[in-house]
Amino acid sequence: CFAVLLEGSLSKAQLTPTFYDETCPNVTAIIRDVLVNASFSDPRIGASLIRLHFHDCFVQGCDASILLDDPVNGEKEAIPNNNSARGYEVIDAMKAALESACPNTVSCADILAIASEQSVSTLAGGPSWAVPLGRRDGFTANRTLANSNLPGFNNTLDRLKNRFSNVGLNTSIDLVALSGAHTFGRAQCLTFTSRLYNFTGVGDTDPTLNTTYLEELRQICPQGGNSSVLTNLDPTTPDGFDNNYFTNLQVNRGLLRSDQNLFSTEGADTIEIVNRFSSNQTAFFESFVESMIRMGNISPLTGTEGEIRSNCRAVNSATIRSNSDAALVSSI
């Protein structure tokens, strides 16, 4: 079933792993080198880059709109991204290296897709896959859509399913598989402290949170403390890409409420998938790859649509020559 869906959607979108074989054959190696160098000083970078790809694709499709610096409509300042989405400078470094090797060739949207695969496979020991390529970059960001479309750390399962359904992703297997990206990376205290101290507004704790884990998290995030302090999303193997995320959910050690809801929502169709991935890492890896490809295929710009930005933070100067042109582009 997935193979048929993938084949059909990929052919429609004209994305192919061989897209740069002639024009920039070393694209993956160039991105990998920048990524590995960045990881020496920033062990979080892999998880941060896959999050950028995720948050890009859920807003207007995979068009690198999240990378645009725009004080009015920029997605960087949207509530789910502000002071949490990160890694932009590493994307800039990847873009600069590619512009040196293959000018005006590789889109910022494709850089995000390749960087995500390399973050999983090269940095974290997870699965590798042939990334479908050929996306082009959009002209506009959409802060309003980012605020309404991106899944949140306190979302109920129904809300998560709604967010995935809105972009055409499967509300069971895609949701659980892509949530598994939380097997590495960090989260700020502000994303889960309500579970520790004031879950329903009366000073209580989240009943789906393991009591030992609760005390551990209270030590890291004391009430009234620094809300930006970081802790591991996966307390077991925090920097490795494996299926421990799902094992954690089974014993009520999901850090974010949105994570734990995959397993602790009574009667949910996601419970069986969590159990399957917990007992079979290969099954998780295979589903994760399929779901990443499906996510990367959300409404890409291809052919003559969009552009290849020379700077991922801004549309090309030739695209917008005046304020009147900017208004025209924004209305398209």
Q: Which residues are annotated as a binding site for Ca(2+)?
A: 56, 59, 61, 63, 65, 75, 183, 234, 237, 242
Q: Is there a catalytic annotation at residue 55? A: yes
- Give me the catalytic one of 44, 53, 55, 161: 55
3-state secondary structure labels for all residues of the chain = CHHHHHHHHHHHHCCECCCCCCCCCCHHHHHHHHHHHHHHHCCCHHHHHHHHHHHHHCCCCCCCHHHCCCCCCCHHHCCCCCCCCCCHHHHHHHHHHHHHHCCCCCCHHHHHHHHHHHHHHHHCCCCCCCCCECCEECCCCCHHHHHHHCCCCCCCHHHHHHHHHHCCCCCCHHHHHHHHHHHCCEEEHHHCHHHHHCCCCCCCCCCCCCHHHHHHHHHHCCCCCCCCCEEECCCCCCCCCCCHHHHHHHCCCCCCHHHHHHHHCCCCCHHHHHHHHHHCHHHHHHHHHHHHHHHCCCCCECCCCCECCCECCECCCCCCCCHHHHHHHHHC
Please give the annotated binding residues, written as ranges.
Answer: 56, 59, 61, 63, 65, 75, 151, 182-183, 234, 237, 242
Measured CA to CA in angstroms, residue 326 lies from 86, 231, 319 at distances of 27, 42, 9
And the tokens for 254? 């999901």
Please give the annotated binding residues for heme b, written as ranges.
Answer: 182
The dihedral over CA atoms of 66, 150, 111, 61, expressed in degrees to the nearest 10, equals -90
CA 280 from chain centre, in angstroms, equals 23
And the tokens for 192? 């889960």
And the tokens for 203? 């000073």
Question: What does the alpha-carbon distance between residue 180 and residue 214 come to, in Å, rounded to a whole number?
Answer: 21
And the tokens for 266? 């009574």
Please give the annotated binding residues for substrate, written as ranges.
Answer: 151
Residues labelled as active-site residues: 55
